[in-house]
Amino acid sequence: MKRSAVKEFLQTLATQRWDDHRYYHQSRINQSLHFISAISFLVAYALVFVDPASAALLAWCVSMTTRQAGHFLFEPRGYDHVNDATDEYKEAVKVGYNIQRKIVLLSVWLAIPLLLWLQPSLFGLIEPSTNTKEWLHDVGIAWFALGVAGLLFRVAQLWVSQSLLAGLAWMSKILTDPLHDIWLYHKAPLYLLRGELLDPMHHVQHAQHVQQSGHAEPEADAQKA
């Protein structure tokens, strides 16, 4: 029983990774930005044990901005001929934060510094900052809390709409994405230098053919991106 649950969890995680890659990471610029984002996220991971506020500032200001710039500015939003899917469909089935959810999350992220600037004590809930360094520390802690809250909130949503396993698989995916993205997209900058703006996704088409043949192993071919 436990072995079956672990197998289902790993399969769900693999499927989420595969769909995330083939649907939402076709731009070589986006892939390259994810590579940069992943490296800075790993630095933030190490920093969180020493200075959580600084880790959050790095994660949100560098890791998240490069990552989301790739999605908002460079990822194709028209019909996806590789996967034979509309953009509306891909947004509707996205397991994590789709564009609409990201806009809400990023709006809260941008509002936090302004709120702490206008209300340093957060309406009496915290010790008010008295200088820029303390304000940045408070912003970092608030952003750290936002990251944790955003992660747990989406897990809860997936628990209700799909299953707890799907939510936990997605959380595991998000937390390990930096390592996976480095492995998956480390060659993307080289392809960009060669003038390739879009990943031809030959490995996706091959995997789709394999799946139709009844031998699906999506993660095995992902590294060829």
> Each residue of 82-135: pLDDT tens digit?
999 999 999 999 999 999 999 999 999 999 999 999 999 998 999 999 999 999
Per-domain boundaries in the chain: 2-222
Instruction: Please give the C-alpha separations between residue 55 and each of 47, 99, 206, in angstroms, as whole numbers.
Output: 5, 25, 40
> Each residue of 22-76: pLDDT tens digit?
999 999 999 999 999 999 999 999 999 999 999 999 999 999 999 999 999 999 9
The C-alpha atoms of residue 207 and residue 219 are separated, in whole angstroms, by 9
DSSP secondary structure string for all residues of 91-112: HHH-SS--HHHHHHHHHHHHHH
Could you give the residue ranges of the DSSP H alpha helices within the chain? 2-24, 28-47, 52-58, 65-69, 87-93, 99-118, 132-161, 164-185, 188-193, 202-212, 218-222
Q: Looking at residue 124, what DSSP letter applies? A: T
